[in-house]
Structure 1
Amino acid sequence: MALTAFLLKRLSYAAVLVLAVLVLNFLLIRLAPGDPIETLAGQMGGMTEEIRAELQRAYGLDKPLPAQLGIYLSRAISGDLGHSYFFNLPVTQLILERVPATLLLVMTALFLAVLAGTTLGVMASRRPNGLLSQIITVVSVVGYSAPVFWTGMLLIILFASIIPILPVSGMRAAVVRQGVFADMLDVAHHLVLPSLSLAIVYLAQYGRLTRASMLDVLGADYIRTARAKGLTENTVYFRHALRNALLPVITIVGLQFGNMLAGAIVVETVFNWPGLGRLAFDSVLRRDYPTLLGLLFFSSLLVIVVNQLTDMCYRLADPRIRT
C-alpha cells in the first residue's frame, strides 16, 4: 500500500509538471524572435501576401496567442504534436524515427561514464594520497572542464587525421553491409567516437563523486566493524562500502540525464549523428515551431520518467527509504 501510494503521488506530480512544461515551452518558443513564415519565404525565394496569409491560417498562426495555446494543449494531451512546417511530416513520426539513434548514443555514453567513472573512483579511494589517485583526479578535472564539442573535435582530429581507424560521421557506412550482425558492427563502429565524446565529461564527474563518497563511507563505524570481523578488503570495499557510496551517484545520474540529452545535441551535430539532437538543431535554424515543441515535450517527458525511475532505484538501493 505504501509503495502504491508513493507511485500515485509521484505520478500526480509528474502530470502537473508535464502540463507546466507544455505551457512554458509553448510561450518561450512563441516569444522567441523569428517567424516561420518568413523562413519558409526565404527558402522559397519569396511569396505573395495571399500565400503568406494562407500559410498563417493553415498553421493557425493568425489566431491570438491564448487561442493557439489552447489548441496546442488540447492536441498535445491527445497525442497529436502537430505537423512540421519544414519536413512536412507529423512531428510524432519525425521523433519516433530519431529516438532509437539518440537513445543508443545517450545510454551507451551513460553506461561508459558510470562504469568507468565508478571504477576510477574506487581505485582512487583505495590510496587517496597515492600517485594513481592524483593522476585520476587530474584527468577527471581536465575531462570535466573540457567542452563536449571541443572533445569531439579533438577525437575527430586524432582518429580521422593522425590515426584514421574510426569513422567520424554518420551512423552507418555509405555501403550497406549485408546481415544483421554486420550492420550491428557497423553501427557500433560509428558509435565509438560520439559516445566517448559525450561520456568523458560525465565519466570525470562520476569518478570524482565516487572517490569522495567512498572516502566518506570508509570512515564509518560499520566499515571498521566489518574489518574487525576479519572480512577481506575486497569484501569491505565492494559489498559494504560501494553500495552505500553509490547512492549519490544514482542521484546525480538521474538529475543529469537532461544535461546528457542537451549534450547529445552538440555531439550529434559534430558527428552528424541522425538523432533528436540533429533534428533539434535543424528545427531551430528553420523556426520549425511544431517540431521544436514536440522535441522539448518529448525530452522533458523522458527526463521526468528517468527521475521517477531514479527515485525507485534509490529506494531499492537504500532500505531506509522504503519506510
Structure 2
Amino acid sequence: MTQSISTARTRPATRGSSLLRIIVSRLVQAVLLLLAVIILNFLLIHLAPGDPATVIAGASGGATAEQLAQIRESYGLDDPVWVQLWHYIANILTFDLGYSFYFEESVAALILDRLWPTVLLAGTGMMAGLILGAALGIFAAIKPRGPLNYAVTILALVGFAAPVFWTAVLLILAFSIAVPIFPIQGMNSILAPDDFFPRLLDTAAHLALPATSLGLIYLALYSRTARTSMLEALESDYIRTAWAKGLSGKAVVLKHALRNAVMPVITLFGLQVGSLLSSVVLIEVVFNWPGLGSLLLESIVRRDTPVILGILLASSLLVIVANLLTDVAYRMIDPRISVGGSRHE
C-alpha cells in the first residue's frame, strides 16, 4: 500500500520532467534547424548569378571597375564565401541583419516596418479559412447526405483548382469595379483619418478583398480535411460504443468524435504555414499590399541580398514557431499526446 502511494505521488513529477526534457529537446532541434536554414539560404543566394556591387553602385551602370572593386572591399564582398558566412552568422547572433543595398536602410527596420501588414493579412485570411472551413467540414460530415455536404465538396474542388491570383482578380472585378464596395489596392487610403476607429474601418475595408482571396484557399483545404476526418471518426468503433451506451448525439459528436477529428486539421495548419509566404507574395503584388511579400519580390528583382536573407530568416522562424505551437495545441486538445507525438494512456 505504501509503495503504491509513493508511485502515485512520483508519477506526475516524472511526467512533468519528461515533458520538460521533450520541450528542451525540440528547442535544441529548432536552433539546429534554423542554423542549417541560415547556411543554406546564404549559400544559395551567393551562388546565384549577378553582382551585388552593381546594385550598390546604382542602376545606371556607370561605375568603373575601380569603383566596383572599392565597393566590394568596403562591404566585404571580395572575401571568400565562408568568411562572409561566418560574419553573417556572427551578426545574426547580435541581432544585426545587415544593411539594405538598395533601400539604404537597416534590414531589421525594413522587416519590422513591413511585418505587421503581412501578419495582419496572413493571420486574418488563414484563421478565417481555418475556422470557417473546419466548421463547414464538420457540419457536412454530421449530415453526409445533406445539401451542405455537396456544397462543401464543390467548394473544395473549386478552391483547389482556382489559382490565388485568379481569385484575387475576380474579386477585384466583382467588388471593386462592377460593384465598387471595397478599395483595390493599398492598406489605407491616401486621406485616411488619423483617429483610431475611422482608420481601423479604413484598414478593414482595404483588407477585405486580399484576406478573402487568401482565406478561400484555406477554406477549401480545411473544409475538405475536416469533413474527411470527421466522417472517419464517426465511423470508428469507439463512436459505435458511445452510441450503444445511450449517449446523446451532442455528447458523441462534441466529446468523442470532434476531438479526434480536429487533429488532422491542426496538423495541416502547422504544415501550411511553410507555404503561406508564396501565396501572400502573389496577393500582396495584386493588391499592392505593403508587406513582406512585396518587399521580397522587389528585393529579388534588385538583388538586394541582405533583405532577401532577412526575409527568409523571418519566414523560417515563423515556420519553426508554428510547428512548436502545433505541438502545444496537440497537448491542449489531448493530454495523452506528448509533445513528441506519442500517446500516454
Q: Name the TM-score, length of structure 2 as normaliser.
A: 0.90
User: What residue number does 2:309 align with?
Assistant: 293
- How far apart are 1:45 and its partner, in Å? 4.6
Task: Give ranges in structure 1 of 5+ residues lacking alignment.
Answer: none
The 4+ residue runs of structure 1 with deviation greater than 4 A are: none
- 1:37-89 CA-to-partner distances (Å, cap 9, x unmatched) read 23445623521222212211222111111111111111112211110000101
User: What residue number does 2:80 align with?
Assistant: 64
- 1:10-53 CA-to-partner distances (Å, cap 9, x unmatched) read 01100100100000000111111222223445623521222212
- How far apart are 1:188 and its partner, in Å? 1.0
Tell which deviates more after alignment, 43-52 or 99-108: 43-52
Mapped to 1, the partners of 2:243 and 2:179 lie a distance apart of 48
- How far apart are 1:133 and its partner, in Å? 1.2
- How far apart are 1:131 and its partner, in Å? 3.3
Matching residue's letter, 1:43: A
The answer to whether the 8 A contact 1:198-1:260 is kept is: no
The answer to whether the 8 A contact 1:101-1:275 is kept is: yes
> Equivalent residue of 1:44, what SS?
coil
User: What residue number does 1:220 align with?
Assistant: 236
Mapped to 1, the partners of 2:250 and 2:179 lie a distance apart of 39
Matching residue's letter, 2:105: L
Mapped to 2, the partners of 1:145 and 1:4 lie a distance apart of 44
Pick from 60, 70, 74: which aligns with 1:44?
Answer: 60
> Equivalent residue of 1:80, what SS?
coil
1:227-266 equivalence runs, <5 A: 227-266=243-282
Mapped to 2, the partners of 1:204 and 1:198 lie a distance apart of 11
User: What residue number does 1:304 align with?
Assistant: 320
User: What residue number does 2:224 align with?
Assistant: 208
Matching residue's letter, 2:115: V
User: What residue number does 1:123 align with?
Assistant: 139
Q: What root-mean-square deviation, in Å, do the aligned CA atoms of Structure 1 and Structure 2 show?
A: 1.5
The answer to whether the 8 A contact 2:210-2:283 is kept is: yes
State whether structure 2 residue 298 is matched by structure 1 residue 282.
yes
> Equivalent residue of 2:275, what SS?
helix
Pick from 108, 130, 139: which aligns with 1:92?
Answer: 108
1:70-85 equivalence runs, <5 A: 70-85=86-101
User: What residue number does 1:151 align with?
Assistant: 167
State whether structure 2 residue 96 is matched by structure 1 residue 107.
no
> Equivalent residue of 1:236, what SS?
helix
User: What residue number does 2:330 align with?
Assistant: 314
User: What residue number does 2:11 align with?
Assistant: none
Task: Give ranges in structure 2 of 5+ residues lacking alignment.
Answer: 1-16, 339-343
The answer to whether the 8 A contact 2:102-2:302 is kept is: yes
User: What residue number does 2:69 align with?
Assistant: 53
User: What residue number does 1:190 align with?
Assistant: 206
Mapped to 2, the partners of 1:229 and 1:130 lie a distance apart of 27
Q: Name the TM-score, length of structure 1 as normaliser.
A: 0.96
Matching residue's letter, 2:277: L
Mapped to 1, the partners of 2:329 and 2:53 lie a distance apart of 46
State whether structure 2 residue 41 is matched by structure 1 residue 25.
yes
The answer to whether the 8 A contact 1:144-1:202 is kept is: no
- How far apart are 1:266 and its partner, in Å? 1.1
Mapped to 2, the partners of 1:104 and 1:238 lie a distance apart of 31
Matching residue's letter, 1:10: R
1:155-170 equivalence runs, <5 A: 155-170=171-186
User: What residue number does 2:10 align with?
Assistant: none
- How far apart are 1:161 and its partner, in Å? 1.4
Matching residue's letter, 2:216: I
> Equivalent residue of 2:124, what SS?
helix
Tell which deviates more after alignment, 39-48 or 106-115: 39-48
The answer to whether the 8 A contact 2:55-2:102 is kept is: no
- How far apart are 1:118 and its partner, in Å? 0.7
State whether structure 2 residue 22 is matched by structure 1 residue 6.
yes
Matching residue's letter, 1:127: K
> Equivalent residue of 2:203, what SS?
helix
Number of positions where the alignment pairs a residue of Structure 1 with one of Structure 2: 323
Mapped to 2, the partners of 1:287 and 1:77 lie a distance apart of 24
> Equivalent residue of 1:62, what SS?
coil
User: What residue number does 1:271 align with?
Assistant: 287
- 1:296-321 CA-to-partner distances (Å, cap 9, x unmatched) read 01110111011011111112212221
The answer to whether the 8 A contact 1:109-1:196 is kept is: yes
The answer to whether the 8 A contact 1:125-1:215 is kept is: yes
The answer to whether the 8 A contact 2:182-2:206 is kept is: yes
Mapped to 1, the partners of 2:230 and 2:43 lie a distance apart of 44
- 1:175-207 CA-to-partner distances (Å, cap 9, x unmatched) read 121311111111111111111111111111110
